[in-house]
Amino acid sequence: MGSQFKDPIDGYQKYINVDSFIDWYLINEITKNVDAKNFSSIYLNLIPGEKIKMGPLWDFDLSFGNVNFSASQYPEGFWIKKHAWYARLFQDPDFVDKVKVRFLHFKQNQQFILDKIDSHAQNLQWAQQENDNKWHTLGIYVWPNPVVFNTYDEEIEHLKSWYIERMNWLDTAYNNL
């Protein structure tokens, strides 16, 4: 798609469902999902006669900074944007504008996600206690987790603070594109 790459009729938009590519990108970029960048969890839908759709989303155990062997540990920096497909898509100003607009939805709903984390943490209170009773992992290094916490509440607070820092970094970064 060399010279016609950005052409709205004969370029990439002819072949892909752009909205699905943007949503897949943003969710994996926000979470810095390790497996969504050149690894095992990049899925798409190929239905004859239709455009290629990204998804389903998959495999988030190594996300939200929960890894000690890559830069995805830190809330700063682009992650999925560096993938070859997305690096190419980001060369189209229209694609970039659509990403920025869609990111606003995620930014405006940030508190909803934080509330969901609190709600799920409360619902899992008993299960996490039973898990620790069985496996004794609180306060112990478990590969590939980068940080060791002594309590479940510390784990939850770390997740939330990582997410807040990530969203703030992305908000600034997208405004500078």
Residue-range domain boundaries for the chain? 12-175
Residue 3 pLDDT level (bands cut at 50, 70, 90): confident
Q: Which residues are CB-contacts of 174 (< 8 A; sequence separation ≥ 6)?
A: 99, 100, 103
Global pTM value: 0.94
Q: For the chain, give the mean pLDDT.
A: 94
The H or E element spanning position 141 is: none
Contact 22, 77 (CB under 8 A): no
At 104-156, the pLDDT tens digits run 999 999 999 999 999 999 999 999 999 999 999 999 999 998 889 999 999 99
Contact 70, 36 (CB under 8 A): no
Contact 92, 6 (CB under 8 A): yes
pLDDT of residue 67: 93
pLDDT of residue 1: 57
Mean pLDDT of 1-27: 93
